């Protein structure tokens, strides 16, 4: 299997490329618009055909590459059924299988950070978006976020996965590339709670500033922004 992890320094976003082997079908998870040329370059080098591109949720801290990749590769754009994005051509429900050549992902509805947040399980690893981070969890104070929903998504869904499942989040701010379910159970400070009320109290008192890109990124990711439109907006 081909597996590549990209990192965008401006938004601290991780993007993932997955393919079964050289010359075969590929998918990308959580692409960043400004990094599209980098993804296309690697696809060409490995002779891969991009057939699906996934966003785990409507991002507020960067502009998604979904629309640009769709226009340049004719791939299918995919999100969970709760996402309001116009650019999405395929929406999946909870526990639905997503296939490319010799590879299967299963969708897990994990609301809380936003009401449209999904995670995606593939064999020994899970792509958790902004729901479960490394030694953290995604904030719940905008985009219809809800700490009680996130508690359920964490403790009743993601943390029920096998302990040796690798966690690949959409962000990390400390240079960590992955973790495991067991490591997060033992070492993630936000998971050391005894009740949903205790968790909600932590999340409701983070007092974080809004993401700098929020007012631009959210509407752009709902409508689907491409590089040419982004460059025009900068003129």
Is the pLDDT score of 130 beyond 70? Answer: yes
Question: For 41, how many CA atoms within 13 A lie in the half-sphere containing its CB?
Answer: 5
Q: Considering the chain, what is the average pLDDT of its residues?
A: 95
C-alpha pair distances (Å), 136 with each of 29, 171, 172, 206: 20, 10, 9, 12
- Kindly state the percentage of the chain with pLDDT values over 90: 92
pLDDT digits (tens, 9 = 90+) for 134-162: 999 999 999 999 999 999 999 999 999 99
pLDDT score at 8: 97
Is the pLDDT score of 235 beyond 50? Answer: no
Is the pLDDT score of 125 beyond 50? Answer: yes
Work out the average pLDDT over 180-197: 98
pLDDT score at 234: 53
Would you place residue 233 in the very low, low, confident or very high pLDDT band (cuts 50, 70, 90)? low
pLDDT score at 232: 47
Cα angle 9-144-210, degrees, rounded to a multiple of 5: 40
pLDDT digits (tens, 9 = 90+) for 59-86: 999 999 999 999 999 999 999 999 999 9
Burial (CB count within 10 angstroms: exposed 0-12, middle 13-18, buried 19+), residue 126: buried
What superfamily would CATH give domain 2-234? Ribonuclease Z/Hydroxyacylglutathione hydrolase-like (3.60.15.10)
13 beta partners = 8, 171
Lookup result for tokens 């990124």: 217
pLDDT digits (tens, 9 = 90+) for 160-169: 999 999 999 9
Q: Give the global pTM.
A: 0.95
Work out the average pLDDT over 12-39: 96
C-alpha pair distances (Å), 61 with each of 9, 54, 137, 158: 12, 16, 15, 23
Would you place residue 230 in the very low, low, confident or very high pLDDT band (cuts 50, 70, 90)? confident
66 near 224, Cβ under 8 Å?
yes
């Amino acid at each position: 299997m081909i597996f590549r992890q990209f990192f965008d320094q401006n938004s601290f976003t991780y993007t993932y490329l997955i393919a079964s082997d050289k010359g075969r079908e590929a998918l990308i998870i959580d692409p960043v618009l400004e990094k599209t040329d980098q993804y296309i370059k690697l696809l060409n080098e490995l002779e891969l055909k991009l057939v699906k591109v996934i966003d785990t949720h409507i991002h507020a801290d960067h502009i998604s590459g979904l629309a640009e990749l769709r226009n340049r590769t004719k791939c299918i754009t995919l999100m969970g059924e709760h996402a309001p994005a116009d650019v999405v051509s395929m929406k999946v429900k909870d526990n639905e299988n997503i296939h490319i050549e010799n590879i299967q992902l299963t969708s897990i509805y994990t609301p809380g950070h936003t009401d449209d947040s999904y995670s995606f399980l593939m064999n020994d690893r899970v792509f958790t978006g902004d729901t479960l981070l490394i030694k953290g969890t995604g904030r719940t104070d905008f985009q219809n976020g809800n700490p009680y929903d996130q508690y359920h998504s964490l403790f009743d869904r993601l943390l029920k996965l096998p302990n040796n499942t690798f966690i690949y989040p959409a962000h990390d701010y400390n240079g960590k590339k992955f973790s495991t379910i067991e490591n997060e159970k033992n070492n993630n400070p936000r998971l050391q709670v005894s009740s949903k009320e205790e968790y909600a109290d932590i999340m409701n008192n983070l007092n974080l500033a809004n993401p700098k890109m929020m007012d631009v990124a959210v509407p752009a990711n709902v409508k689907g922004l491409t590089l040419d439109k982004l460059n025009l907006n900068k003129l």
